[in-house]
Amino acid sequence: MPYAPISFAAKFARFSEHWSPRIIAQMNDYHFKLAKIQGSLSGTLTPTPTRSSLSWTGK
């Protein structure tokens, strides 16, 4: 299966609900998810060997 880059902006445009993660890609047994968050996010997310995080700020 060929790999292709993912446009986060295009994926975010496909849904409008907040706090409702969506799977945007899969690799082996891993799911990559996006979620829209309303308001500010306090605290930090700590990546683990089986979990990582990425923050995207925009409208």
39: left (phi over 0), alpha (psi -120 to 50) or beta: left
Does a structural domain hold residue 46?
no
Residues 6+ positions from 26 with CB-CB distance below 8 Å = 32
Range of the domain at 4: 1-37
pLDDT for position 19: 87
Please tell me whether the overall predicted TM-score, pTM, comes out greater than 0.85 for this model: no
pLDDT, tens digit, 9 for 90 and up, residues 4-57: 888 988 998 999 999 888 998 888 888 888 888 887 766 666 667 777 777 777
Does a structural domain hold residue 9?
yes
Does a structural domain hold residue 2?
yes
Number of domains in the chain: 1
Does a structural domain hold residue 28?
yes
Does a structural domain hold residue 1?
yes
**In whole angstroms, what is the distance from residue 34 CA to residue 25 CA?**
10
pLDDT for position 44: 60
